[in-house]
Structure 1
């Protein structure tokens, strides 16, 4: 069965695996920190929001914030979705075209974010355009997601985990997703984000139309 796609900011409800009490407590803390951060940024802006303010709003210590998120950029960019996407990709039909497998996983993920946390998703996209540090960190987090997806595709195709073609392919797909988010934000988020993802993946498949 394919993995479910619940609310990204409430992964306690996700059904793909059970969670122990300690893991649930840590996850609740991460969620509280992220929600406090989104709220403060919406009220006073990214640069004016400090880790100390975030800690106070989330009712934790600054050291706890740093233990969960090494940098402020990580708070707005990190989520719990890589394991869900990994399981969903592993659950795609055997022999399916890799691009179509990734299309299914990515469009469902984006649709889940838009459904369950629309304002946070829009805020994150705006920060990608407005804050260079967030955009730079986004590139790093996309690379980490690409590695996760590469391992799954390598397993599905019988290739080595460090296969160059698989790495290039998944990097191209996650890079396309990054550009879609930036494009969407630059155009004041007027477009259908899921449609943009499909359009970008079509471009990878056939190249830009002339």
Structure 2
């Protein structure tokens, strides 16, 4: 059966986004983030600057945009509600990192890992990206809270979830910075698990 037009459009949109982001990360790494204009990215990707902005509203989004919030929320929703909050959240963060490093576009784990590493190294070394990364941190925290909060929401439980999510994300951030600074020598999911274990004293994988 032929693919439906809407499915084809979604697939092509995703492919265009991946191609633009790949060219952007490559150019930012080679030339420097501040020295590379959006028009340079558009030229490298073979699209117009308007197309770039349609997929990535800001220059920072060319590095920061990913599916991690969706991946983590899906894994939290699939986890057992009997597990402690930090185990559910921590396990989802470890699994999400594994998916990003091994199961990304193209099915090439080595290429996916290098692409994620290049993005993280840009985030760590570029002041403008470090500032915007905080926004992504809050967005991921909210995605975690939304995946765990029941309806109607209990303010006390919501507060506990927010606290647990914030603590887990702080541990993950420490692991991400270490991974970027070490040029990806360790396995990222294991490094995140080590950080969570150091913070909470239990394995999350």
The normalised TM-score by structure 1 is 0.78
1:84 to 66, 71, 78: 71
Give 1:131's aligned residue.
Answer: 126
**Structure 1 residue 179 displacement after superposition:** 2.2
Task: Say whether the 8 Å CA contact 2:85–2:164 is kept in structure 1.
Answer: no
Deviations 1:152-190 (A, max 9, x none): 12239x735982221122122123222221122234433
- Alpha carbons of structure 1 residues 202 and 28: separation in structure 2 relative to 1, 3 Å: same
Find out whether 1:51 has 2:38 as its counterpart. Answer: yes
Please give the secondary structure, in 2, of the residue aligned with 1:60.
coil
Is 1:169 the counterpart of 2:164 in the alignment? yes
Report the alpha carbon displacement of residue 151 of structure 1 after superposing the two structures with TM: 1.1
Aligned to 1:10: none
Q: SS of the counterpart of 1:79?
A: coil
| Structure 1 runs not aligned, ≥5 long | 1-18
Which of the two has greater helix per residue?
A: 2
- The answer to whether the 8 Å contact 2:75/2:95 transfers is no
In the alignment, the residues of structure 2 paired with residue 119 and residue 159 of structure 1 have an alpha-carbon distance, to the nearest angstrom, of 42
The offset of 1:147, in angstroms, is 0.2
The number of residue pairs the alignment matches comes to 189
Task: Give 5+ residue unaligned stretches, structure 2.
Answer: 1-5, 103-108
Moved over 6 A (4+): none
Is the contact between residue 149 and residue 170 of structure 1 (CA under 8 Å) also seen in structure 2? yes
Change beyond 3 A, Cα 1:122–1:91? same
2:3 aligns with none
- Measured against aligned partners, the alpha-carbon deviations of 1:76-131 in whole angstroms (never above 9, x if no partner) come to 11112322322221111231122222222211221233333111122122112211
